[in-house]
Amino acid sequence: MTPNFERIFERILEHEGGYSNHPADNGGATNMGVTQKVFNEYLAASGQKPYSVKMITRQQVKAIFNVKYWIAVKADKLQHGWDYAIVDMAYNSGPSRAVRLAQTVLGLEPDGIVGPKTVAAIFHAPVEKLDEFNDRRLAYLKTLDDWPVFKKGWSDRVAMVKAKSRADLIKARSV
């Protein structure tokens, strides 16, 4: 894990609340952003029987975040700023979708896999490409059936991710 892991994990948890089972949420019951389905997969992989996501611990959330999102998008290889934007989208919309969107913005063939071409493109892309990524993420969210219910929270979240990821990228490039 890179030093950015902890900071980004904390940022993501700022957006995620505690337990929720909103009837309009397609993910169903969630806690700290982890759905019951994802929690069940985690428990099964560690040889445990399923139990309510209400009982998930912060350490379990961190373990899930690390394997299912951080490692899945190879965030430790991404330039700071891009790592936050891509991981945050991955946490909400899936790793493959987040990577494919980044690749599309960067003018690459979108295969959903972070490889050397994707990493190189990120390191050479102008800051405006990161802004475009976040703008397109918001545009994607607006297409979802549950947008009318969650639009305020999602809009605020993407605006914050956009501002912080941009600042992170500018800082990383000035060093």
Express each pLDDT in 102-126 by its tens digit: 999 999 999 999 999 999 999 999 9
CA neighbor of 24 nearest in space, from 148, 165, 172: 148
Express each pLDDT in 30-76 by its tens digit: 999 999 999 999 999 999 999 999 999 999 999 999 999 999 999 99
Whether 135 has a pLDDT exceeding 60, the answer reads: yes
Q: What is the pLDDT of residue 2?
A: 67
Q: What is the pLDDT of residue 26?
A: 85
Asked if 77 contacts 52 with a C-beta cutoff of 8 angstroms, the reply is no
User: Longest C-alpha distance within the chain, in Å?
Assistant: 49
Q: What is the rounded average pLDDT of the residues 21-35? A: 92
Whether 1 has a pLDDT exceeding 60, the answer reads: no
